Chain A
Amino acid sequence: MRRGLSVFNVTALALGLAFLYLPIVILVIYSFNASRLVTVWGGWSTRWYLALLSDNAMLEAAWISVRIAFLSATAATVLGTLAAVALVRGGRFRGRVVFSGLVYAPLVMPEIITGLALLLLFVAVDVERGFWTVTLAHATLTMCFVTVVVQSRLLSFDMSLEEAARDLGCPPLKAFFTVTLPLIFPAVAAGWMLAFTLSLDDLVIASFTTGPGSVTLPMRIYSEVRMGVKPEINAVSTIMIALVAIGVIVAAVVTKRGAIVRERATGDR
């Protein structure tokens, strides 16, 4: 099975990777640019990272973003896990197809529509838009991602484990928390991580649902860029790329490790 790395394959791979990552690599490199001009290389420096530390507006936006991401990811994880349990365990309850369709709709729904719909809702019920409306909107957006991740884990979950717990004297709810939840936890954690990063970099829905005073980091960056790209933006973007990358990698590793442990547990039968 040695397909090997033919010239064609290597070229295709290189071009593909370049297409995806060259812009990001350039951005990261220019974030260490000493020059004031974004397009002119003036040597290595970390001055824009230091400048960021004194940019209060930017720091505040980052802090708001992190808090929104944390809260919305947590809410999405709870709701998304419950939805996954209902979809996998509920058997053929009435409206199961409709329910799963509704859960997955945000995956494919254009963000601008979700954003607009949420805006209309918040206006209709007349809540003050700001921190909490963005949090709520992000929880709605990211819940389906958690459901997808947790559901795929639950499908491979040996139901007899939970039955064994009940057989040994454990009431159903406690059996779920002491046996099922710890075992599917890697998937739940991965779902949380995914929701966190999705919330962190969302611009469209946040723009629709926020109010004065609650500007998230992507919104802040976007408004700054409109006045012309400052080198500080490159620095803050690099930090965000690092955060999101770490989040995605941790989620992947946690899921993968869970799978390996599971394989070992049931492997040599």
Chain B
Amino acid sequence: MMDSPFNSRGRTWPRHAPGIDPGAKPLVRFDAVTKRFGGLAAVERLTLDIFDNEFIALLGPSGCGKSTLLRMLAGFEQPDEGRILLDGADIAGVPPHRRPVNMMFQSYALFPHMTVGGNVAFGLKQEDVPKAEIDGRVRDILKLVQLEGFDQRKPHQLSGGQRQRVALARALVKRPRVLLLDEPLSALDRKLREETRFELMELQHRIGLTFIMVTHDQDEAMAMSDRIGVMHQGRLVQVAPPAQIYERPNSRWVAGFVGDVNLIECQLVESGPTGSALECAGVGRLSIAQSVDAPPGSALCVALRPEKVDVASLPPDAADGSHFAGRVLDIGYLGDLSIYRIQLESGFVLKASAANRSRLAAARIARGDSVFVSWSSDAGVVLTQ
């Protein structure tokens, strides 16, 4: 992730993320869409372009409006203001059953009175596809999701993971322009969820389809999508590839919501073309390799990810970056990682994390030890919002 922070997952097939192909026409465009429920705006003047073959995740806490956005695209809710365009055409008056988008529901919504085959064939029967073609397409799609031979089973005879794949097959067999996934993995247990992530990504890669996923799980969004739209209170706060969301969050809120972070309130001292100096009340003077477009004296915030902070018993000898002395308040041992809470001499409590690469690493620094923390000048990000 560190090598090419803004080129997510090193994909090779054509991608049309903005900035990479500025001439690309969006497949789906939300144009200043507002949706209110009883006077309260669930989605507010939201504008977003989604491109062909893209896997985009809408990430946010519950109640941020991400599901409403998805349901508006599916046609179950109508926007109060703004337009939703699909392939350039406004789909306002098109009812859900005539929209070339299909949704995979959070509960999967498999029809319990039909077999797996019946569930998957259901959508094709509505289109009056000839019987022979239905059979062929159902067989192919069940093979794609590795459920060959399951077509006579009833949904209640399947495991959670199998049901999830039936729901996926049922939506995909219609060959939609866009597949909508509403918390697709939330009903699975942890192990299965991680395997299924890769299956979904692999599948999307293979069939080349636009996926729009709604999730509150940041790991899921980070691992699977090409771009993440972070939502908060009905608005899109930031839309960017996962690495950029993580490494270059555009606000305190995004930095705090995605991953763990130290937010250090500062005042700008000076800013040049290659870096800036900040005076942080609780910490001291920081130099950051980032040019800041703000007058000296402005109140800013430095976001520093815990894993970018080095903890050592001896003072670091690096000239670049910042280092401070402190004392270990406590250590959270997570097996692969240890989280250190370190109180600096100024009183500020900083979180740092380190991979436990040697089996004795955890024992090297103990609670109450005097330590030195350091980070390089490109570790922190200056946030103006």
CA–CA, A157 and B106, complex, Å: 15
A55 at the interface (CB under 8 A from B): no
Nearest residue in A to B123 (C-beta to C-beta)? A168
Closest to B107 in A: A160
- Category for how many chain B residues contact A: 20 to 34
Please tell me if the beta carbons of B123 and A160 are within 8 angstroms of each other in the complex. no
Given contacts A168-B174, A169-B97, A169-B174, A183 and B126 within 8 Å (CB-CB): no
B127 to chain A, nearest CB (A): 6
A10, B155: Cα distance in complex, Å:
44
A167–B160 CB distance below 8 A: no
Bound-state CA distance A169–B170 (Å) is 12
Q: How far is the CB of A261 from chain B (nearest CB, A)?
A: 7
Chain B 90-128 interface residues, beta-carbon cutoff 8 Å to A: 95-98, 102-103, 105-107, 109-113, 122-123, 126-127
B64 → A minimal CB distance (Å) = 20
Complex CA–CA separation, A211 to B96 (angstroms): 52
Contact of B105 among A160, A171, A179, A269 (CB under 8 A): A160
Whether A183 lies near B112 (C-beta < 8 A) is yes
Q: Point out the residue from A168, A175, A268 that lies within 8 Å of B102, measured CB to CB.
A: A168
What 0/1 pattern do residues 59 to 98 of B give for CB contact below 8 A with A?
0000000000000001110000000000000000001111
Q: When the two chains form their complex, are residues B107 and A158 in contact, meaning their CB atoms are under 8 A apart?
A: yes
Let me know if B126 and A168 touch, CB within 8 A: yes
User: B97–A265 contact, CB under 8 A?
Assistant: no
Q: A158-B107, A269-B160 are in contact. Are A167 and B74 (CB under 8 A)?
A: yes
Say if the beta carbon of A267 comes within 8 Å of chain B.
yes
CA distance A167 to B171 in the complex (A): 9
The answer, yes or no, to whether B156 is at the interface (CB within 8 Å) is yes
- Bound Cα distance A97, B90 (Å): 38
Query: For residues 118 through 173 of chain B, which have their beta carbon under 8 Å from a beta carbon of chain A?
Result: 122-123, 126-127, 154-156, 159-160, 170-171
Name which residue of chain A comes closest to B126, CB basis: A169
Counting CB contacts under 8 A, is A95 at the interface? no
Q: Please indicate the chain A residues that have their CB under 8 angstroms from the CB of B122 in the complex.
A: 165, 168, 170
Instruction: Report how far A175 CA is from B74 CA in the complex, Å.
Output: 16
Most buried by A among B97, B106, B110, B122: B97
B112 nearest CB across to chain A (Å): 4
For residue A164, CB closer than 8 A to chain B, the reply is: yes
Tell me if B187 counts as interface (CB < 8 A to partner A).
yes
Is the beta-carbon distance between A170 and B105 smaller than 8 angstroms? no
User: Contact: B109 with A265, CB < 8 Å?
Assistant: no
Could you tell me if A183 and B127 are in contact, using CB atoms closer than 8 angstroms?
A: no
> Which chain B positions have C-beta within 8 A of A175?
97
With known contacts A168-B122, A169-B97, A264-B156, A163–B113 Cβ distance under 8 A: no
A169-B127 CB under 8 A given contacts A161-B111, A163-B96: yes
> Using a CB-CB cutoff of 8 Å, which residues 182-210 of chain A contact chain B?
182-183
Task: Give the chain A neighbours of B75 by CB distance below 8 A.
Answer: 167
Tell me how far the C-beta of A255 lies from the nearest C-beta in chain B, rounded to whole angstroms: 16
Within 8 A of B (CB), among A129-170: 158, 160-161, 163-170
Residues of A within 8 A of B96 (CB): 163, 166-167
Which residues of chain B come closer than 8 Å to A158, judged between CB atoms?
107, 109
Contact A167 B102 (CB under 8 A): yes
The answer to whether the Cβ of A262 comes within 8 Å of any Cβ in the partner chain is yes
Are A163 and B156 touching (Cβ within 8 A)? no
Question: In the bound complex, how far is the Cα of B155 from the Cα of A264, in angstroms?
Answer: 9
For B180, give the chain A residue with the smallest CB separation. A167
- The reply to whether B97 and A161 form a contact with Cβ atoms under 8 Å apart is no
List A contacts of B102 (CB < 8 A). Answer: 167-168
- For A170, give the chain B residue with the smallest CB separation: B126
Whether B174 and A265, one on each chain, are in contact in the complex, defined by CB atoms closer than 8 angstroms, is no
Given contacts A163-B76, A164-B105, A261-B112, contact A268 B160 (CB under 8 A): yes
Q: Which residue of B lies closest to A171 (CB)?
A: B97
| B127 close to A164 (CB less than 8 A) | no
User: Which chain B residues lie closer than 8 Å to A169 at the CB level?
Assistant: 97-98, 123, 126-127, 174
A183 cross-chain contacts in B, Cβ below 8 A: 111-113
> Is B156 a contact of A168 with CB atoms below 8 Å?
no
Q: Which residue of A lies closest to B121 (CB)?
A: A168
Using CB atoms, name the residue of chain B closest to A185.
B113
Residues A261 and B109 in contact, CB atoms below 8 Å apart = no
A267 CB to closest chain B CB (Å) equals 7
Task: Write out the residue numbers on chain B whose beta carbons fall within 8 Å of the beta carbon of A163.
Answer: 76, 96, 103, 105, 109
- In whole angstroms, what is the CA distance A168 to B103 when docked? 8
Contact A166 B187, beta carbon cutoff 8 Å: no
A261:B156 contact, CB within 8 angstroms: yes
Q: Which of A206-246 contact B (CB under 8 A)?
A: none
Bound-state Cα–Cα, A264 to B127, Å: 31
**Docked pose: A89 CA to B159 CA in angstroms:** 31
> Considering the chains assembled together, what is the distance between the CA atoms of A118 and B126 in angstroms?
46
A171 to B: closest C-beta gap in Å: 5
A157: min CB distance to chain B, Å: 11
Known: A169-B97, A170-B97, A269-B187. Is A164-B156 also a contact (CB below 8 A)? no
Residues in A whose Cβ lies below 8 Å from that of B174: 168-169
> Beta-carbon contacts of B300-330 to A below 8 Å, as 1s and 0s?
0000000000000000000000000000000
Q: B residues near A, CB below 8 A? A: 74-76, 95-98, 102-103, 105-107, 109-113, 122-123, 126-127, 154-156, 159-160, 170-171, 174, 187
Q: Given contacts A169-B123, A175-B97, list 5 more A-B pairs with CB under 8 A.
A: A163-B105, A169-B126, A183-B111, A266-B112, A267-B156
21 pairs, CB–CB < 8 Å, chain A vs chain B: A158-B107, A158-B109, A160-B107, A161-B109, A163-B96, A163-B109, A164-B109, A164-B170, A165-B122, A166-B95, A168-B174, A170-B126, A172-B95, A172-B97, A175-B97, A182-B113, A183-B113, A261-B112, A262-B112, A264-B156, A265-B112
List the 5 closest pairs (A to B, CB-CB), nearest first.
Answer: A169-B126, A168-B123, A164-B109, A265-B112, A160-B109
Binding site for B on A (CB under 8 A): 158, 160-161, 163-172, 175, 179, 182-183, 261-262, 264-269
